[in-house]
């Protein structure tokens, strides 16, 4: 595995830990932000390993599908859609209270679980290469 790829994976693991710390601190904004960047950095690691320098974009589906040619199950595609939308909502919330009601701690716990499942799927792609 390339050193740059390993760096992306290390960053992804740190982001996941930050998401869990945000969850424990009752901070949905932090959970969403860090879950999105967890998957983003993991996808960039996959891209790095396959093609070199990943694009500097924040969309999850674009690098996953367009750049890496990853075939994802409906469950993973739905998660990427949710995280992409939630990421934008977390960065530019119209109303923080409404955001935290929509992405409450219970929802965030489920998103962490789904993200961990997606990580296993994505990590298996790296092991195949």
The yes-or-no verdict on residue 129 having pLDDT over 60 is no
Q: What is the pLDDT of residue 73?
A: 78
State pLDDT tens for residues 15-25. 999 999 999 99
Nearest-angstrom CA–CA distance, 50 and 26 = 37
- Quote the tokens at residue 67: 């750049």
Q: Nearest Cα to 90, choosing from 42, 34, 38?
A: 34
How many other CB atoms are found less than 10 A from the CB of residue 67?
17
Percentage of the residues of the chain whose pLDDT score is greater than 90: 60
State pLDDT tens for residues 28-75. 999 999 999 999 999 999 889 888 888 888 888 776 666 566 777 788
Taken in order of first residue, the domains within the chain and their CATH numbers are: 3-128 (1.20.120.330)
CA 61 remoteness from chain centre: 10
Q: What is the pLDDT of residue 84?
A: 93
Q: Nearest Cα to 31, choosing from 99, 94, 105, 82?
A: 105
pTM of the predicted model, to two decimals? 0.90
- The three-class DSSP label of residue 35 is helix
């Amino acid at each position: 595995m390339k050193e740059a790829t390993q760096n992306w994976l290390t960053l992804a693991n740190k982001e996941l830990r930050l998401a869990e710390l945000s969850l424990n601190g009752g901070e949905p904004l932090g959970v969403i932000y860090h879950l999105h960047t967890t998957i983003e950095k993991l996808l960039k690691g996959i891209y790095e390993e396959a093609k070199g320098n990943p694009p500097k974009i924040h969309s999850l589906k674009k690098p996953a599908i367009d750049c890496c040619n990853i075939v994802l199950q409906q469950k993973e595609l739905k998660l990427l859609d949710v995280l992409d939308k939630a990421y934008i909502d977390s960065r530019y919330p119209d109303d923080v209270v409404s955001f935290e009601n929509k992405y409450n701690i219970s929802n965030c716990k489920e998103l962490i679980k789904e993200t961990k499942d997606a990580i296993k799927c994505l990590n298996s792609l790296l092991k195949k290469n």
